[in-house]
Structure 1
Amino acid sequence: MKWTLRTWEEQLVAGLDRLLGFPRERKRFYKAHGYPLNLKEPTSFNEKICWKKIYDRDPLVPVIADKYRVRDYVREVLGEAEANSILIPLLAVADKPEDLDISVLPDQFVVKSNHGSGNNLLVFDKSKFDFQAFIKEANTWLKAPYGIRNHEWAYSHIDRKIMVEQLLLEQSGSIPSDYKFCMIHGECAFIKVDKSRFNNFTSTLYDSSWNKLKVDWRRPQDDYSPAPQQLEKMLEIARALSKKLDFIRVDYYVLGDHFYLGELTNYPVRGRGKFNPTEFDFEMGRRWVLPGANGGE
């Protein structure tokens, strides 16, 4: 890849932070949670997320972080037919945005990079889509060394691409709710339901039996919502996809009686997602046994 000034700056900041014992990471963690980050003997859920992104070198982790290659992993685990029933239809993929043929795409779609978070664009009307402006933005995505500053190792081992997927919309035309299954050692520890992400964003936590938890995670809670019709099937698939991993978050979109796999997430909120009460952070941490020895301090 071509090394830009920003790339070198990112590498330098991350390298210095590592060399000095992660003072930058520790500062951000303390600001988020109000207690110090312990990488040598992590005990809370968020400490273990930080340990995982800094020290875990499981070769499966970058595969799962890659929004393109993870599709093959899902097919390998679930089988072709079941995987295809829940994977969001892939409309196009290219190494460069210039190589996309917009003329063959439907009127609505999603474009994203495969190697990071937040690098996406929802297109509701192709006739108003500025392709040249998109090319410039997408090339910025591809040049960005996502994850370096925050020590998210997995992202640096992904061959960067631009993907186009079908845009999922409810009958009202709104974006569907996001159901995030946090899996620890192959079992569901809790489920976070994100609603109205672009207007009055709420996050509500449930256990695997769909009991609402009195726990806030970064955003206000919504009122109680009924369990999705396919909850047991969603749990079954999440268990299968997380079987080889100590932790993973399995994200779904639900549309009526059907659900789609959004992505698999290794490092939720980079380990800075504050729980209230804080005890829930440590309760979830006690359920998670990290691979190998304790941290690398």
Structure 2
Amino acid sequence: MSKKNTLIKLITDKDFRWVYMGRKSFFNYMPDEEFLRKKYKHQLHKDLNLDNPKDFNEKIQWLKLYNRNPEYVQMVDKVSVKDYIADRIGAEHIIPTLGVYDKYEDIDFDSLPDQFVIKCTHDSASTFVCSDKKTFDFKKARKKIKSSLKTNYAMLGREWPYYSVKPRIIIEKFMVDESGTELKDYKFFCFNGEVKCFSVDFNRFTNHRANYYTPDFELLTLGKKLCPPDPDQKLDKPQHLDEMIRIAEQLSAGVPFLRVDLYNINGQIYFGELTLFPASGFSPFVTDEWDRTMGDWLTLPAKTPQN
């Protein structure tokens, strides 16, 4: 976005202004609860009820404030989580790591294969897929990743585990599924160790969509506005769906809510990531009914003290 367009949006769009100012650290002085109440109001246009939360997005905010399991820090770090996963389901489910770096300048791209995936270890919006080094936009990747390394990601949504994650860069092996061009992302929504639904993300780098299904692969009307479903897109039932559900439930046992992301490459299941707070609890559903339904699925635990 040009500087002129940014200025216009800052003047005319209060929601954009709030997000922009948050990324510029204007609200870092606010205590977590005050910040979450204000951002929830700006993003979802309703008050946040923390005394008796009902909706899924409300309960995600509650979990940020009152569910402080120290194990969550390892679970969200894109480097250390690999050991966590290997210990629980086996190293064969881990996508190979090609390198971990503190600075972008430390990377020797000449030594890397022609295809790879590069991203930061502490956020969710700095992933770049290199399918061909001859055409890869290194300048764009460098600018974004260097900016991300300087960003205190925890402050953007007060996702407290990220306060303890060291910002680094990880490069992984490039992987594709049967499409030959991408990896379908299977996201399993787990509530106290039980998969209640899952989404299949497709066309991630062109026209990103996500369809939601029951564990029996029945299409749901569930969807998020930022990545809407496409009911006309008829997807085949994933291979070894039962095994993916088993893995997701094993990894999420004992956690009030956890989204477990997996890939399926010719029947071989690979781990993607663990997400405690999808979209930081600020992404509106296509219909409010689903926000309430998923909220009903989420049983909140006893409060744990904040540090």
* TM norm structure 2: 0.83
Which of 132, 145, 150 is residue 138 of structure 1 equivalent to? Answer: 145
**Structure 1: how far apart are the matches of 2:169 and 2:217?**
36
- What corresponds to 2:79 in structure 1? 68
Does 1:203 pair with 2:210?
yes
Flag the 1:89–1:44 CA change in 2: closer, same or farther, 3 A: same
The residue identity in structure 1 corresponding to 2:230 is: Q
Name stretches of at least 5 consecutive residues in structure 1 with no aligned partner: 1-5
Name stretches of at least 5 consecutive residues in structure 2 with no aligned partner: 1-19
Does 1:100 pair with 2:104?
no
Q: Which one is further off, 197-206 or 179-188?
A: 197-206
Flag the 1:295–1:172 CA change in 2: closer, same or farther, 3 A: same
Q: Which one is further off, 167-176 or 8-17?
A: 8-17
Alignment of 1:52-63 (within 5 A): 52-63=63-74
Tell me the alpha carbon deviations over residues 171-220 of structure 1, each in whole angstroms, 9 at most, x when there is no partner. Answer: 55421211100000000011011111222322111111111112232213
- What corresponds to 1:178 in structure 2? 185
* TM norm structure 1: 0.86
Tell me the CA shift for residue 47 of structure 1.
0.8
Q: Which one is further off, 284-293 or 130-139?
A: 130-139
Identity of aligned residues (%): 33
Q: Which one is further off, 244-253 or 134-143?
A: 134-143
Flag the 1:20–1:108 CA change in 2: closer, same or farther, 3 A: closer
Does 1:24 pair with 2:38?
yes
Which of 244, 250, 255 is residue 245 of structure 1 equivalent to? Answer: 255
Kept in 2, the 8 Å contact 1:181–1:250? The answer is: yes
Q: Which protein, 1 or 2, shows the higher relative CO under an 8 Å CA cutoff with sep ≥ 6?
A: 1
- What corresponds to 1:43 in structure 2? 54
Tell me the number of residue pairs that the alignment of Structure 1 and Structure 2 aligns.
284
> Aligned-residue CA RMSD in angstroms?
2.7
**Structure 1: how far apart are the matches of 2:223 and 2:95?**
29
- What corresponds to 1:3 in structure 2? none
Which of 276, 282, 288 is residue 272 of structure 1 equivalent to? Answer: 282
Kept in 1, the 8 Å contact 2:56–2:292? The answer is: yes
**Structure 1: how far apart are the matches of 2:290 and 2:139?**
47
Does 1:193 pair with 2:207?
no
